[in-house]
A and B are shown apart, each in its own frame.
Chain A
């Protein structure tokens, strides 16, 4: 078990470069505490797999250091780092039995049979693989194969961290839940540091204590699932998390008024220090918007579409050309296609050049 520290890590696949556009992974600093469960969340190509490979030692970063418990492992080969990795597709040794698969990492490290056997059997029981121990791994289902890959990581008692690279991609939806809860159980029991890469927000949010959201090679926010939802620090987090994502609309600021085109919205904060020419946007989650009968407080909008998705409805409204999604449970008292859109000021954020800008409360 180990604390994992990344010091000013950056990586470019084309070698050292001064141009930051060449970097698949831009400078980042991170510390993961021992025994924590972390999720790296982001779209394909955001650099999360690159980061994972740097931690596992399959890649040596162009710049920066990787520390395990304050020991520099940046240049240490994978097999000496004592980590485990579970891949997107189950990686098993086809010609071996489940037993041999689980025993393989220990055998390679020269352990004796007497050491290996009880350990394998104990672990197989925990993973629910004991009845398949002597079948050829090739013939098992995808979820059992993923358990084997996980088992090959857990078999070594001293493993520093276990890395998961979208491990549930090929698992049937109903089994995903089961596997996820088993993973949580094992994590509690063994207390290993767990780093979980995914592009699926539900997976990341249900699984991790802390989620690291990445976008274009940079970390845009680190936080608990709640923080990501309540206070996205970057417009990308707003878009990416939540379904539907945050409403983000360009605006101008005049004192404590946000001008969306020529509609004024009165804010509860002022934003004095914004440099001229910056891109300013207003962002609010659909859950914090409300529709009132037309003519009341709020902005006059047209209702364009209502999607009923069971527990709630998603209403799409237009403020001229600006569109907003509103999540509501009831559309009572609404007649016709006119309504007025009410913002919950506690959850209305201003973004300057895509980053959250804290204003002065009035």
Chain B
């Protein structure tokens, strides 16, 4: 058992190897990538990153992705909060069926919904807008948010609610002043997972956008230029899509384990 640490160490090495290769490639020129095989960039260059930061058709992709992801996180968390409260505190007609129905949407293959979504959003004039992608992602993020938050809220003793009502708090004031601070880490975990699933999704985001709201991941599929595939820029774009996730993980690392511990992810 002395060498137990080797198992996670090897696994992490396996995880980081392809990422290292991507970073390595993003710092090379296209000529170097195609001509020689090097483990380190021979002529270190940031030209690939420069292309992305100066070309609007590239960096607007990041902005678009950020916008619809943020809208989605805000919608998911704000709508899910009262709903999760209702599920955790009250029983009402159809509550269990509704909860189950919500969860089945997490099982809906996006491929099934791609075409109908396209038609639906086109017909109401929302095609190629950020809000369309944000709402479409609610399909799987809202049920998830309700589920995670319900788990956290069930862990808060009901006496807190009762005490507050006895003290004369109205429901909205109680909810904002007392309840939300109590489940702050739950909200953090929820926001993290909503961010994650919205950020990584491509199929719906690509189907629902054309130009104005096109996400970075969709832009990456068009790196074929006249001179062939521009591997360096593609790799740099890939590296830049990893960064926001890495930053988010770093900030919420202590809460994530808690969220997982509740078994609600």
A and B touch in the complex (CB under 8 A): no
Question: Which B residues contact A (CB, under 8 angstroms)?
Answer: none
